[in-house]
Amino acid sequence: MVTSVSSTSPAAVRSSSIPTVAVRQLSHWYGSGVNLRQVLDRVDLTIHPGEVVLLTGPSGCGKTTLLTLVGALRQVMAGSIRLFGEELHGAGRAERQRLRCGIGMIFQGHNLLRCLSAEQNVQMGADLLPGLGYRSRRDLARRWLREVGLGDHLHKLPHDLSGGQKQRVAIARALAAQPRLLLADEPTAALDSRTGREVVELLRSLARDQGCSVLMVTHDSRILDLADRLVRMEDGRLYEGLFNDREASGSVG
């Protein structure tokens, strides 16, 4: 299903199929009573297949909450999220887990399994694919590691890899599961600027090849030019574009 759209350009896909993510009037809050704290306020966001969207904003403004909601890691409280056309509001634990198989996640701290080699880590991603034999899943893992430039480090443990290499393994792992959506939370935070940009460039080109959408939270201003679209979050509200939009910020409640 993913490969079928990989040959077409993102623009063509955009007009022909349902959006990968469609967020409508999404609100979210933590705590209750006097401690109630609203983190998301009537957020709208649409991500089309193959689109790379960068999400910026000051820390604590709800970016990560939005990411976990779109990633089907949290229950939707109010509003609607349609993931690949399926409604997340009211979806149970098992259904969310099933939907997560279509989402690749890249974390700030890479979160590789310490006891597995690079190849085995990537294969944990490939193992999620149904109907593939052990050998083809392993070959898939190797191919992805070569794609991210780690063909010579297949059998190294995360412990023996540099920060940039670990993040590349994490990208390979996320992509090996052939996701339709990649969620990344500050993937460059632990990397120096050059490595950071390289990693994101790689991520973008590989995602493009797969026809996979990307939603990336970042503080890194040096990589903003790599996005198809920029969205900015402030006090739980979402704005298109990079620069402060003073006229809209008044409506935060």
Partner 1 sequence: MLDRLWPSRRIPLALLLLGRQPARLAVALAGIAFAGILMFLQLGFRDGLFDASVVIHKRFDADLVLVSPRTMSSIAMAGFPRRRLVQVMADPAVAGITPVHWNFLLWRNPETRATRSILAVGFDPEDPLFLDPDLAEQARVLSQRGRVLFDALSRPEFGPIASWYRQGRSIDTEVAGQRVRVAGLVSIGPSFGADGNLLTSSETFLSLLPNTPPGSIELGLIRLRPGADPAEVSQRLKQRLPKDVTIFSKNGFIDFEKNYWRSSTAIGFIFTLGAGMGFVVGCVIVYQILYSDVSDHLPEYATLMAMGYPLPQLLAVVAREGLLLALFGYLPAWLIGQGLYALIRSGTQLPVSMDGPRSLLVFAMILTMCLVSALLAMRKLGDADPAEIF
By the criterion CB under 8 A, which residues form the site for partner 1?
A: 64, 67-68, 71, 73-74, 94, 97-98, 100-105, 107-108, 111, 113-116, 120, 123-125, 127-128, 133-135, 138, 173-174, 177, 185
52, 216 in Cβ contact below 8 A? yes
Give the residue from 227, 166, 173 showing the smallest Cα distance to 191: 166
202, 164 in Cβ contact below 8 A? no
Smaller CB distance to partner 1: residue 31 or 133? 133
Smaller CB distance to partner 1: residue 49 or 125? 125
Smaller CB distance to partner 1: residue 109 or 241? 109
Give the residue from 102, 94, 38, 35 showing the smallest Cα distance to 70: 102
Smaller CB distance to partner 1: residue 8 or 108? 108
Question: Minimum distance between the CB of residue 61 and partner 1, rounded to whole angstroms?
Answer: 14
Question: Minimum distance between the CB of residue 163 and partner 1, rounded to whole angstroms?
Answer: 17
Dihedral, 206, 7, 227, 66 alpha carbons, nearest 10: -80
250 HSE (CA, 13 A, CB side): 3
Taking the C-alpha atoms of residue 90 and residue 93, their distance in angstroms, rounded to an integer, is: 10
Residue 57 tokens, joined: 């904003």
Taking the C-alpha atoms of residue 186 and residue 163, their distance in angstroms, rounded to an integer, is: 13
Smaller CB distance to partner 1: residue 80 or 111? 111
Question: Minimum distance between the CB of residue 137 and partner 1, rounded to whole angstroms?
Answer: 9
3-class DSSP state of 48? coil
Question: Minimum distance between the CB of residue 99 and partner 1, rounded to whole angstroms?
Answer: 8
Question: Minimum distance between the CB of residue 100 and partner 1, rounded to whole angstroms?
Answer: 4
Smaller CB distance to partner 1: residue 74 or 82? 74
> Beta strand pairing status for 78-83 and 229-234?
unpaired
Question: Minimum distance between the CB of residue 152 and partner 1, rounded to whole angstroms?
Answer: 21
